[in-house]
Amino acid sequence: MKRLLMSCLTACLAATAFTASAQPYPNRPVKIIIPFPPGGTLDIVGRMLALKLGEQTGQQFVVENRAGGNATIGATAVVKSPADGYTLLFNASTLVTGPLVMATPPYSIANDFTAIALVAKAPLSVAINKNLPITDMKGLFTYARANPGKLSFAIGSVSSAGHLATELLKRGGGGDYQIVPYKGSTPAYQDLIGGSIAGFVDPVLGAVQHHKAGNLRILAVTSSTRLPTLPDVPTVAETLPGFEFTSWYGLWGPAKLPADITQRLNDEVNKALAGEMRDKLLAQGILLGGGSVAEFNKYQQDYIKEMGKLIADAKIRVE
């Protein structure tokens, strides 16, 4: 009788485990790690996406902020997670440029992650402290050339889109700026408004409310055309013809994420971008991503090649 009871119990447990594993993904809450503090544009878009994925799948997608280490702490946590789709990474283009500035990168884009979907592209704003005697990009370049090294520009992290765009502005305008690293956008804006730093190149969404409130001055945006949210603000290209630069945000999983889970998540991201989330992003000056897994893989590889040359030429390194 005892053996019979044990056999029944074992069979029941096995059946329960099989039923759980046979349930379609996701069948429990999913954690999305964002490797920056709350409050920045990446965090805003990531939380928007998590909410929509939860609504669409019927499971919670919970955001967890793990800042630090030039955004490597959160990324490394995902690398070390099981490849089951329940721990994901929402990050900016810093994920793929970060290893290019490190002597010993803690992860490999090619070997340690599964690319899932390109979510959004964020035009950047060139914002300065409102008390500076600078009102446009031409004035910024003139001031920088006349006062070499006196303008300090924040960066949210080394090799971020804002950092790389700042390097391109230095080259195009012929001036020089001190680069001051911060742990995310929120503390950088605090110091920019307070006057501790002179400028900050960051996604428009983070600066626009401060600009409209008169707390700082946006000189230009880095999109190819003016934005509906800031119709009176010129593009950098109106001063530097051909200049265009955006930050971009994507969703990744650990290496060897099963193809069916990867495709399910890609489908859900594209569904979110075709619905209510689309209008919310566009209303805030953020451009839509989307597309297939293969297209996202190619996009990030092309970006690595292009930015790798800029990083090497500018000798950008993490000490």
pLDDT above 90 as % of the chain: 79
Q: Alpha-carbon Rg of the chain, whole angstroms?
A: 22
Strand 246-254 with 61-65, pairing:
unpaired
Looking at residues 268-282, what average pLDDT do you find?
Answer: 94
Greatest CA span in the chain, whole angstroms? Answer: 93
The region, left, alpha or beta by phi > 0 then psi within -120 to 50, assigned to residue 33 is: beta
283 pLDDT band (50/70/90 cuts)?
A: confident
Q: Indicate if the pLDDT at residue 194 is higher than 60.
A: yes
pLDDT above 70 as % of the chain: 93
Looking at residues 257-262, what average pLDDT do you find?
Answer: 98
* CATH match for 28-122+247-314 among 3.40.190.150, 3.10.129.10, 3.40.50.300, 3.40.50.2000: 3.40.190.150
The region, left, alpha or beta by phi > 0 then psi within -120 to 50, assigned to residue 250 is: beta
Per-residue b or e along 225-235, where b marks 16 or more CB atoms closer than 10 Å to that residue's CB = ebbebbeebeb
Looking at residues 68-89, what average pLDDT do you find?
Answer: 94
Q: What is the pLDDT of residue 22?
A: 62
DSSP string for residues in 144-208: HHHSTTTEEEEESSTT-HHHHHHHHHHHHHT--EEEEE-SSHHHHHHHHHHTSSSEEEEEHHHHH
Q: What is the pLDDT of residue 62?
A: 98
- Amino acid identity of 275? G
136 pLDDT band (50/70/90 cuts)?
A: very high
Q: Where in the chain is the domain with CATH 3.40.190.10?
A: 123-238
Does residue 304 contact residue 97 with C-beta atoms inside 8 Å? yes
Q: Indicate if the pLDDT at residue 293 is higher than 80.
A: yes
* pLDDT 10s digits, 296-306: 999 999 999 99
Q: What is the pLDDT of residue 5?
A: 46
Class of domain 123-238: alpha beta
Q: Indicate if the pLDDT at residue 20 is higher than 50.
A: no
Tell me the C-alpha distance between 215 and 129, whole Å. Answer: 8
- Residue among 68, 21, 214 nearest 127 (CA): 214
Average pLDDT, the chain: 91
Does residue 28 contact residue 86 with C-beta atoms inside 8 Å? yes
Tell me the C-alpha distance between 47 and 41, whole Å. Answer: 10
CA 190 to chain centre: 20
Q: Where in the chain is the domain with CATH 3.40.190.150?
A: 28-122+247-314
Q: What is the pLDDT of residue 14?
A: 45
Tell me the C-alpha distance between 292 and 134, whole Å. Answer: 43
Name every residue whose Cβ is closer than 8 Å to that of residue 210 and which is 6 or more positions away in sequence.
127, 189, 193, 216
- 3 state SS for 249-279: EEEEEECCCCHHHHHHHHHHHHHHHCCHHHH
DSSP string for residues in 102-116: -SS-S--HHHHEEEE
19 pLDDT band (50/70/90 cuts)?
A: very low
Name every residue whose Cβ is closer than 8 Å to that of residue 45 and which is 6 or more positions away in sequence.
90, 119, 120, 122, 249, 281, 286
Q: Is 10 exposed, middle or buried (0-12, 13-18, 19+ CB in 10 A)?
A: exposed
Cα torsion angle, 176, 286, 252, 244, sign = negative
Q: Indicate if the pLDDT at residue 12 is higher than 60.
A: no
